Amino acid sequence: MKNKALKRLIYSLSVLLTLLSFFPVTSYGFIKIDTALNDSKKDTVPANTGFKIKTIIIDPGHGGAPSSTTGHYSHGASGSFSHERNVTLAIGRKLQAAIEKELTGVKAVMTRTTEDDVSFERRAEIANENKGNIFISIHCNSLSDRRVSRKVGTKHHKPVYKTVSVPDRSGKGVLLLVYGLKRTREAENEIQKNQVEGESELDGGALDPNDPVTIILTNEYKRKFRQQSINLATLLNKEFVDTDNRPSEGIREQSIYVLCHSSMPSVLVETGYINNPDDEAYLNSEDGQNEIVASIVRAITNYKNEVELVSK
Q: Is residue 174 part of a domain?
A: no
Q: Is residue 35 part of a domain?
A: no
Q: Is residue 45 part of a domain?
A: no
Of 271, 269, 247, nearest to 258 by C-alpha is 269
pTM here? 0.75
CATH of the domain at 62: 3.40.630.40
The pairing of beta strand 158-166 with beta strand 55-60: unpaired
Higher-confidence position of 138 and 6: 138
- Where in the sequence is the domain holding 286, given as residue range(s)? 50-102+111-142+278-312
Give the pLDDT confidence of 146-158 residue by residue, as tens digits: 777 777 778 778 8
> Are 124 and 190 in contact, with CB atoms under 8 Å apart?
yes
Higher-confidence position of 134 and 260: 134
Distance CA 259, CA 75 (A): 20
Q: Are residues 198 and 137 in the same domain?
A: no
Q: Are residues 58 and 138 in the same domain?
A: yes
Give the pLDDT confidence of 222-244 residue by residue, as tens digits: 678 888 999 999 999 999 999 99
User: End-to-end alpha-carbon separation of the chain, Å?
Assistant: 49
Q: Are residues 204 and 135 in the same domain?
A: no
Distance CA 5, CA 11 (A): 10
Residues 6 or more apart from 23 whose CB is under 8 A from it? 43, 51, 224, 227, 228, 231, 265, 307
Q: Are residues 131 and 70 in the same domain?
A: yes
Q: Is residue 56 part of a domain?
A: yes
Q: Where are the alpha helices (DSSP H) in 115-272?
A: 120-129, 184-194, 212-238, 257-261
**What is the signed CA dihedral for 284, 120, 235, 106, rounded to 10 degrees?**
-90
Q: In what order do the strands lie in the sheet with 55-60?
A: 107-110, 55-60, 134-141, 266-273, 174-179, 248-254
Q: Are residues 136 and 64 in the same domain?
A: yes
Q: Is residue 262 part of a domain?
A: no
Q: Is residue 263 part of a domain?
A: no
Q: Are residues 202 and 136 in the same domain?
A: no
Give the pLDDT confidence of 80-95 residue by residue, as tens digits: 999 999 999 999 999 9
Distance CA 93, CA 22 (A): 30
Per the structure, the count of domains in the chain is 2
Q: In the chain, pLDDT over 70 holds for what percent of residues?
A: 66
Q: Is residue 161 part of a domain?
A: no
Give the pLDDT confidence of 64-74 residue by residue, as tens digits: 765 555 555 55
Q: Is residue 149 part of a domain?
A: no
